[in-house]
Structure 1
Amino acid sequence: MRVPMLSRLLITGIAASFLLPVPVAASSPELIGLQRQLNSLVAANSGEYGIAALDLRDGSTVAINGDIPFPMASTVKLAIAGAYLAEVDQGRRSLGDMIVGRPAAKVIELMLVRSDNYATDQILATLGGPAVVQQWLLSHRISGIRVDRTIAQLLRERGHLADSKDVATPVAMVGLLSKLDSATVLTSQSRTFLFDLMRRCQTGTRRIRALLPAGTQVEDKTGTLDGVTNDVGVITMPDGRRVAVVVFARGGRDRQPVIAQVARVIYDRFADDTRNALAYFMRMR
């Protein structure tokens, strides 16, 4: 009898849940099926898509164009927030520090919840510029993400589509989400602060969140430029499992509906596995 993916995870022991997931290629029938579904979905739509989904409990992952760089747009704000909060954890800064007349906590809230570009550049200036964020990423062995410009510079230079600056691969971005979620690069207090803001994200409601069942917890950050539509974040499944999802899209039409469909396909596949696992254990009783 074939044991569903979640059943195999539970059988291996609770200890695995305390380890930082290391992404592994789709190999189980469930993940191969998911990858085929995603391939078919993006092939039926115009434009180019980069997708990665990572089970934060066991490290299993699927990816479409996972190693191709895409413009991050405002999804870079997660890395900026991570770099600032890391300095808070080190005692070099505090969330109460005043940044242009506002507490840092409020400026970060504006950056993540409303995707305020001016607030973002205020945080960047306080840190010392994009190079500091880049160094923070590299110090935690997060490669595949480039942070080159302020938001003002990015918009002025109209960085998008074919630009080689301020880009990330889907696999790299899902890796950043994994590290932020694991609290290995931030304290639990900073992690809680960050993900609470992501949960309250007010932009891009027609993307990852749009087609998920009512009440599904989503913590995300969107990004938008001319010809670019992104959404990255974490979906909490009915069994409490957390799945990091990255969808980068450029060119073509109707990118937001496709992102919503991608998220629903990923959600359904993991929800089905949960139901299969429960049914398996009921049979074993």
Structure 2
Amino acid sequence: MPARLRLAAALAFVGLAIPPAFADWDRPSLDKGIAKLERRTEGRLGVALIDLKDHKLWSWRGAETFPMQSVFKLPLAVAVLQQVEAGKFKLDQPITITRKDLSLFNSPIARQFKGESATYPVRDLIRLAAGQSDNTAADRLMREIGGPQVVTKMLRDGGIEGMSIDRYERQFQPEIYGLKGFGWNEVVDEQRFRADLRALNPELRIAALAAALKDKRDAATPEASARFLEGFAEGNWLRNPAHTAFLTKVISESKIGTGRLKAGLPPGSVLAHRTGLGLTTDGINHATNDIGIATLPDGRRFVIVTYLAGSRADAPKREAALAEAARLAVSALR
């Protein structure tokens, strides 16, 4: 009799169950808990988990595509650092930002901008894009490395098929609602954009958003996102461990989205993460996302990906749902 069967027989004799050969997620509990949670979100919820101890994966809608929003800034930062390692840039290399480079929505650079230009080292642009979700920094870095297709190619070369980065922030944000994106030869006028958005026929706005929620561009599956994070956690995307450590520190210190995944982890946990958030129009939110690598106080680590699309819940309820997904993940660890 094989040793494992002998152990099973011995344990059965004394009334004990044989332990699994490898730890795994409590899948029935996750299936039930996430299904119930999704109903509360009034949207479509995608979740993927990978235990970094044994690399077991569990997912909910794991192969479906969800809009990433600013989640793309993490693979973008990796792509920039890969070009640093290839000698195309240096971390302290200055990059000039002009008024035409300023992008839509969240941008500390735009808020502080004076005059006609400002200069930032690559290192600071990475911090701003990946840590503070600065859209101007992200668009400028993307342009500097050769465009969105460079980031997607990096993912494909690394074996990640379910993530696609296709447009700049200044392009895809207006296009979500059927408006024309801003080109590189024009100054972004956010007030005009918001006025144009409000002036749209509600039926046209809702139809455009419904199409955007199914768009394969600038979108990802939870499982592909989890595999990307798994590779980052293992140090596989960057050759220089110092670069992985630098980016990990940036995304661990981020103050954005603290009410999402981070709020559902036990006190003393560390979350290296990147969030994404879209506008809410006509009572429908485009996306509320958070993906990251969680380290629990006992040292156990796992990848967690949460994408919430098309939700009719308000912002506090959406954030609370992602926090609850993190609590369910912790309780399901074996």
Whether these two folds match at TM > 0.5 is: yes
Deviation >6 Å, runs of 4+: none
Tell me if 1:121 matches 2:180. no
Distance apart, 1:32 and its partner CA: 3.4
The answer (yes or no) to whether the contact 2:264–2:327 under 8 Å persists in 1 is yes
Q: How does 1:176-255 map to 2 (within 5 A)?
A: 176-186=228-238, 187-226=240-279, 227=285, 228-252=287-311, 253=313, 254-255=317-318
Distance apart, 1:97 and its partner CA: 1.2
The answer (yes or no) to whether the contact 2:22–2:54 under 8 Å persists in 1 is no
Tell me if 1:2 matches 2:17. yes
Distance apart, 1:54 and its partner CA: 0.6
SS of alignment partner, residue 235 of structure 1: strand
Of the two, which has the highest radius of gyration? 2
CA distance in 2, matches of 1:140, 1:70: 20
Of the candidates 289, 304, 320, which is equivalent to residue 257 of structure 1?
Answer: 320
Matched to 1:241, the amino acid is R
Q: Deviations over 1:180-203 (max 9, x none)?
A: 111112121111011101101121
The answer (yes or no) to whether the contact 1:145–1:169 under 8 Å persists in 2 is yes
CA distance in 2, matches of 1:242, 1:90: 30
- Report the TM-score when normalising by structure 2: 0.72
Of the candidates 133, 158, 161, which is equivalent to residue 143 of structure 1?
Answer: 161
Matched to 1:147, the amino acid is I
Number of aligned positions between the proteins: 252
SS of alignment partner, residue 118 of structure 1: helix
CA distance in 1, matches of 2:90, 2:309: 37
Q: 2:54 — aligned with what?
A: 58
SS of alignment partner, residue 251 of structure 1: strand
CA distance in 2, matches of 1:257, 1:83: 32
Name stretches of at least 5 consecutive residues in structure 1 with no aligned partner: 10-27, 274-285
The answer (yes or no) to whether the contact 1:53–1:244 under 8 Å persists in 2 is yes
The answer (yes or no) to whether the contact 1:31–1:61 under 8 Å persists in 2 is no
CA separation of 1:29 and 1:225: change in aligned 2, threshold 3 A:
closer
CA RMSD in angstroms comes to 1.8
The answer (yes or no) to whether the contact 2:65–2:214 under 8 Å persists in 1 is no
The answer (yes or no) to whether the contact 1:121–1:151 under 8 Å persists in 2 is yes
Q: 2:104 — aligned with what?
A: none
The answer (yes or no) to whether the contact 2:252–2:273 under 8 Å persists in 1 is yes
Q: Percent identity?
A: 31
Matched to 1:128, the amino acid is G
CA separation of 1:65 and 1:255: change in aligned 2, threshold 3 A:
same
- Report the TM-score when normalising by structure 1: 0.83
Q: 1:278 — aligned with what?
A: none
Q: 1:91 — aligned with what?
A: 87
